[in-house]
Structures are given as C-alpha cells and as structure tokens.
Structure 1
Amino acid sequence: MADFEASVIIRKPIEEVYEYVSNMENMSEFMPNVVKIDKPSDGFLMPGDKVLETRMIRGRETRNELEIVENEKNKHFSYRSDINGLQSTYRYRFSEADGGTKAHFEAIIKTTGLRMRITKRFIVDMLKREDGNQMSYLKDALEGTGPTL
C-alpha cells in the first residue's frame, strides 16, 4: 500500500512520457530538490543498476544511492533508496489514456528500528512535501504549460 500517490494525464504519447521519467537525468525538472543524478552509463537502466542522487535538503546537499527495482519500457519504472533504516520505493506506472498518457506515481516507505518506526509519519509527511507534487511538475515539464522549477 502506498504512503502517498498521485496520477495525472499528460497530453503526450506513452513512449515520450516513459522515456522522460526513466531517463533519471530529467529528475531535477519534476523533483525540485534533486540537483543531479550520476548514472553509470547512458544506456537503459536495468534492475539492480545503481545511480547516485544529489538533493538539496534544508540548504545542504546530500547524496544517496538509488537502486533500480523495475524498468519495463512504456509500462513501469521504479527505484529504491535504503539508508539508515529508511527504505523508500518510488514507482511510476504508465498507461494510455484519452488524449495522452496516464502517469501514476506511488511512494512506499518502510522503516526498521524503533526510532525510525516512531518517526515514520513525520518522515512520510516530509517526503510528501518534497516529492508529492512531482506529477503536476512532470505534466508542466512535458506539456510546457507551467512555470519552470
């Protein structure tokens, strides 16, 4: 079950939406806190591949390793972060819709250890504030309809 999720219809073909999201170098265009993504290669990311994400959190740059969990062309893409007892998985699913593509995002947050379990609700709320609007940012970026980040 997702801890938070969102869907949007984007007036672009499914291939274009999938390619944009699965090319993680575009993340900073629809996730404002992401500064940079370092990929091992320019090729197709396979499950098990790892990328390095740099984010600005409260004015500080933090780096985190992300592992690709699934990547099926034009269907779904997901990655996971696992750090200090906090595992977050971000899943994107794509389907054809009238006039374009339905993009669905869900975040699944798991915690281990007493301290993390106690603060899980706070952590989920913080992640939702940081990443919860990414579907509307994604729509704006691909359709060119909204403000740039």
Structure 2
Amino acid sequence: MGALNQTILIERPLEEVFTITTNMEQSPQIMDQVEEVAKITDGPVGKGTKYNEIRNLGGRRVQSVLEVIEHVPNASYAVSSSQNGVEIEFRYTFTQQGDGTFVTFDGKVKTSGFARSLFRGMIVRMISKEELFHLQKLKKFIEAETV
C-alpha cells in the first residue's frame, strides 16, 4: 500500500486477534500515546463508524476523528484520519497461520501544503516506528489475554 508496512505473528486464533485488534476503545491499553478513544457513531462497528481519539504527543493533547473505511470480519480492517494537512490511512490484514495469526499493517500518508510536504519523510518514519511498537505491544496484550 505505502511506505509503512509491518508484520507480526500473534500466537492466538484469527477470530480472537481480529476482535481485540479492531476494538478501538482498547487502544489506550495498547498504544503508549493514545489517552482516550470513544465511539461517536451509533450501531455496530463497520464501514463509516467514527471514533474520537486523543493522543499525547510530546506533552500536547491532540484530538482527531478516526473513520472505519473497511471492516471485513476476520480478514481486514482499515481506518483513516485527516488533520492539519496530513491524511493517514491504516489497514490491518489478518491471516491464519497454524494456531496463530499473521497481522500485517500497511499505511499511507498524504500531505498537503508546502510545510507538511517538507516533513512527510519524518512523519512516515515516526509513524512506522510507532506502529512497530504498537504491533509488538498488541502481540503481548493479546497473548497475555486469558481465553
């Protein structure tokens, strides 16, 4: 998909990994910078579901709206957000591998405006590093869960 790509094997069944990974409201337990996530649309999670997310970025609280743009149970899940000239799209795909599940993260970043375009490479590197840590923490979180 884009410059961001990470894969990890989680030693849990596909359905369990998909369910936990796509529960956005658990993000503060898994991602260091995420402080709060709240679903702001009604109904079950699916394409069009929106969340309000607050992250702590270097001591500064940053709010953004995340929108689910793809939700294929036990197969793929994608979310997008746009803020201050930076558009980000994250896609997770899930593949059964024996008793475990491969989780692949792909992401792409689009920037608009001269200043944001100058910093695009730095933004991509920062998100890539953050996402590697996220997948490692996700693995630890899911594998520690009792079935």
For normalisation by structure 1, the TM-score amounts to: 0.89
Q: CA deviation at 1:134?
A: 1.2
Contact residue 77 and residue 92 of structure 2 kept, 8 A: yes
Q: What is the identity percentage for the equivalent residue pairs of Structure 1 and Structure 2?
A: 30
Gaps of 5+ in 1: none
Q: Distance in 2 between matches of 1:42 and 1:97?
A: 34
SS in 1 for 2:12: coil
Q: Is 1:3 the counterpart of 2:3 in the alignment?
A: yes
Read off the aligned partner of 2:119 and give its amino acid letter. T
Q: Distance in 1 between matches of 2:102 and 2:129?
A: 22
Q: Is 1:75 the counterpart of 2:75 in the alignment?
A: yes
Q: Distance in 1 between matches of 2:82 and 2:28?
A: 20
Read off the aligned partner of 2:31 and give its amino acid letter. M
SS in 1 for 2:118: helix
Q: Distance in 1 between matches of 2:122 and 2:131?
A: 14
Q: Distance in 2 between matches of 1:71 and 1:106?
A: 15
Q: Distance in 1 between matches of 2:18 and 2:62?
A: 27
Read off the aligned partner of 2:24 and give its amino acid letter. M
Q: CA deviation at 1:108?
A: 0.8
Counterpart of 2:12 in structure 1 is 12
Q: Is 1:86 the counterpart of 2:82 in the alignment?
A: no
Taking structure 1 as reference, are residues 133 and 38 closer, same or farther at Cα in structure 2, changes over 3 Å only? same
Q: Distance in 1 between matches of 2:116 and 2:60?
A: 21
Gaps of 5+ in 2: none
Q: Distance in 1 between matches of 2:56 and 2:129?
A: 13
Q: Distance in 1 between matches of 2:32 and 2:56?
A: 9
RMSD: 1.7
Read off the aligned partner of 1:22 and give its amino acid letter. T
Q: CA deviation at 1:132?
A: 2.9
Counterpart of 2:124 in structure 1 is 124
Q: CA deviation at 1:46?
A: 1.9
Counterpart of 2:111 in structure 1 is 111
Contact residue 4 and residue 132 of structure 1 kept, 8 A: no
Counterpart of 2:137 in structure 1 is 137
Counterpart of 1:53 in structure 2 is 53
Q: CA deviation at 1:42?
A: 7.5
Aligned residues: 145
Q: Distance in 1 between matches of 2:130 and 2:142?
A: 20
Counterpart of 1:36 in structure 2 is 36
Q: CA deviation at 1:114?
A: 1.7
Read off the aligned partner of 2:105 and give its amino acid letter. F
